[in-house]
Amino acid sequence: MSEYQHLSSTRLIGRLVPPGEKAMANPVERLTSEWQLAPAAALSDLPYTGMAVMRWTCRTALKTPAGLDNSKGLISASSFKEAGDPTWTNDEGMKKWVAFMDAYYPEGDRKSIFTTYGYSAAELLVQVLRQCGNDVSRENVMRQAANLKDFRLDLLLPGLAINTSPSDYRVIKEFRMMRFNGERWEPFGPIVAD
C-alpha cells in the first residue's frame, strides 16, 4: 500500500516535489503558454519542477509556444495510455482503439486526449449496459454503474482497474506519476490510489 494512498491531491503534490525545487501547480490554465513555462524555467538556479495537474497530450500541448526544452521535468499524473506514445504501439488495447479510429473516425486527431477519453467513456457505458441485461431501467443502470468490479478499459494503464460501489461512484481512483522527458511522459513510482 502506498504511503500516499489517503492523501488529498493538494497534499500529495506537496509531498512529491523534492525540497529545494520550484513547483508550479495550475489546474485551470494550460501549462503551455510561454508566459508560464518559459519564464518559470529561468526563475532561479534551483532545478525546476512543474506540476501539470491537468495533463494534456504532450507533443501537441507542450511544443509551442513554450518549447519542449522548457517543458522537461514537468510532473503530472495519469491513469491512461497516451495515444502516439511508442510504448503502446504493440499494446492490444491501443490496437483496438486504432482499429476503432480507422473504422469510425479516420479524420479524428490521433494525438488528442479527447478521442481516447471518448472511446474509454463509450467502452465503460457498454460494460454497464451489458451488466444490465434486458433491464435497462434507470434504477438498474444506476445499480450496475455502481457495481463495476475490476473492469479494465483498453486504454487504462496496466495494473489499474475500475471499481465502483453504491457508496463510491468514482470511476478512476488510481494513477501513475509521470515526468515529461522532453519527448514523452515517463511513468515513475508505484501506482497511487486516491
Same structural domain, 67 and 2? yes
* One domain, residues 44 and 11: yes
What domain range includes position 149? 82-171
Residues 149 and 71 in one domain: no
Torsion angles phi and psi, residue 98, rounded to 5: -60, -45
Residue 141 shares a structural domain with residue 166: yes
Least confident of 42-51, 76-85, 139-148: 42-51
The sheet carrying 48-51 orders its strands as 22-25, 48-51, 75-78, 174-180, 185-193
Q: Do 117 and 165 have their domain in common? A: yes
Is 27 in the same domain as 63?
yes
Question: What element of type H or E holds 23?
Answer: strand 22-25
Question: What's the whole-model pTM score?
Answer: 0.69
Of the spans 4-8, 33-37, 111-115, which averages the highest pLDDT?
A: 111-115
The pLDDT tens digits for 88-137 are: 999 999 999 999 999 999 999 988 889 999 999 999 999 999 999 999 99
CB atoms within 10 A of CB 192: 20
Residue holding cell 526544452? Answer: 69
End-to-end alpha-carbon separation of the chain, Å? 11
Number of domains in the chain: 2
Whether residues 129 and 161 share a domain: the answer is: yes
